[in-house]
């Protein structure tokens, strides 16, 4: 037989890397071709010798590697992100969050009421309410009317039982 | 093969346990693999050490259910390649992937000794010498394919290259091994 498989095919065959059709064809060919079979045996012998040599001279894992690895790991400084992820993270994260919150509070006048936030004075609402209540005391858009024992409507101040003194004064001033 | 650098997590007991188990179970295999690549124990120790430090850093990127050995071999291969780059200051050129095997007719180009010649002589020593003469990439492929018995696909994954590259490197390495072993045996006679 003059046709032979290239050594590279035999290497792939040994490593199970041929497609199934080629693998089957080569398998059949080997049965009839002593030359290819001998070449395959050579390749197989090299592989066996490599494995055998590797087994016979297998080295033990030196304990010093383990010690050096642990030493290196301990010496490495963790990043801030690492510290935040660690179980001690909250001990660091909470103070940082508090500082950020305080900075945001004091750095933003609106948050602490120091700025001139747009708004409408409370007296305006009281004036409006008083006017509506006078016109239609039972209207749905008006808050519950409160009547005194004498049957006369209470002043606007009667609604504001929880208001602070300043607001109350403002309200009474607005009604007057 | 770029194992993404993960931040160190020194206080995590899981990471410590992972590293401990990795070194206990795979330390020997990793060290021997490193030894086969480097050819000397001092470099193999450094390589194995760096690999396990990398394992510790990147332990979260290991996917349970996959082969740990393949994973750490990949790490070792990358570290070794980086080390070679540092030492040589250049990276060895890739072998062209277009190196598909061709069936041919006629006489073989290389004289092939019969199996008895290989097995009869002391094959181990010539092979060890021959292995040392391979390029680092060829040696990696031979170690992974013939000693560790990984498939071409697994080797491609470990080395971060294509199957075609694995195939061509192995073919060239094997051809070189055959020549070197034959020469060594002839010199012994």
pLDDT tens sequence across A19-78: 999 999 999 999 999 999 999 998 998 899 889 888 888 899 999 999 999 999 888 766
Q: Which residues contact B77 (CB under 8 A, 6 or more apart)?
A: B1, B37, B140, B158, B159, B160
Q: Which of residues 21-60 of B touch A (CB under 8 A)?
A: 23, 27-28, 30-32, 35-36, 41, 44-45, 48-49, 52-53, 56
Degrees, nearest 5: CA angle A78-A79-A82: 80
DSSP A147: B
Contact B53 A73 (CB under 8 A): yes
Report the pLDDT value the prediction gives residue B117, as an integer from 0 to 100: 43
Q: What domains does chain B contain, in order, with CATH numbers?
A: 13-88 (1.10.1740.10), 115-188 (1.10.10.10)
User: Which residue matches tokens 């995590």?
Assistant: B12
Name the residue facing B152 among A4, A15, A78 (closest C-beta): A15
Q: Model ipTM? A: 0.71
- Nearest CA distance, B20 vs chain A (angstrom): 9
Residues of A in contact with B35 (CB under 8 A): 59
Q: What is the mean pLDDT of chain B?
A: 79
User: Which residue matches tokens 């490193």?
Assistant: B34
Per-domain boundaries in chain A: 1-75, 122-175
CA B154 to chain centre: 12
Name the residue facing A7 among B28, B30, B175 (closest C-beta): B175
Neighbours of B29 (CB within 10 A): 17
pTM score, whole prediction: 0.61
Q: Which of B80, B86, B71, B5 is nearest to B44 (CA)?
A: B80
Structural domain A1-75, CATH architecture? Orthogonal Bundle (1.10)
């Amino acid at each position: 037989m003059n046709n032979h498989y290239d050594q590279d095919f035999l290497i792939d065959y040994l490593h199970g890397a041929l497609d199934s059709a080629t693998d089957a064809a080569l398998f059949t060919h080997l049965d009839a071709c002593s030359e290819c079979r001998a070449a395959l045996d050579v390749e197989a012998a090299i592989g066996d010798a490599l494995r055998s040599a590797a087994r016979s001279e297998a080295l033990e894992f030196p304990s010093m590697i383990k010690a050096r690895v642990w030493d290196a790991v301990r010496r490495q400084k963790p990043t801030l992100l690492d510290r935040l992820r660690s179980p001690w993270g909250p001990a660091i994260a909470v103070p940082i969050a508090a500082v950020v919150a305080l900075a945001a509070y004091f750095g933003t006048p609106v948050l602490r009421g120091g700025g001139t936030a747009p708004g409408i004075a409370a007296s305006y609402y009281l004036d409006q309410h008083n006017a509506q209540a006078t016109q239609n005391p039972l209207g749905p858009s008006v808050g519950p009317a409160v009547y005194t024992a004498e049957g006369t409507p209470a002043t606007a101040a009667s609604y504001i039982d929880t208001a602070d003194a300043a607001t109350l004064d403002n309200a009474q001033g607005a009604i007057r | 093969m770029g194992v993404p650098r993960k931040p160190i997590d020194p206080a995590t007991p899981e990471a410590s346990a992972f590293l401990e188990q990795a070194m206990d179970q795979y330390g020997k295999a990793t060290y021997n693999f490193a030894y086969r690549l480097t050819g000397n124990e001092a470099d193999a120790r450094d390589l194995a050490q760096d690999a396990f430090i990398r394992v510790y850093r990147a332990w979260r990127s290991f996917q349970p259910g996959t082969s740990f050995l393949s994973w750490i071999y990949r790490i070792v291969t990358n570290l070794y390649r980086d080390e070679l780059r540092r030492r040589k200051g250049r990276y060895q050129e890739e072998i062209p992937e277009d190196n598909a095997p061709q069936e041919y007719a006629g006489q073989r180009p290389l004289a092939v000794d019969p199996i008895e010649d290989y097995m009869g002589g002391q094959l181990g020593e010539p092979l060890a010498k021959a292995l040392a003469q391979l390029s680092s990439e060829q040696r990696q492929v031979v170690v992974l394919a013939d000693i560790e018995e990984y498939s071409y696909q697994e080797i491609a994954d470990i080395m971060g290259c294509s199957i075609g590259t694995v195939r061509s490197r192995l073919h060239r390495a094997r051809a070189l091994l055959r020549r070197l072993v034959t020469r060594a045996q002839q010199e012994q006679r």
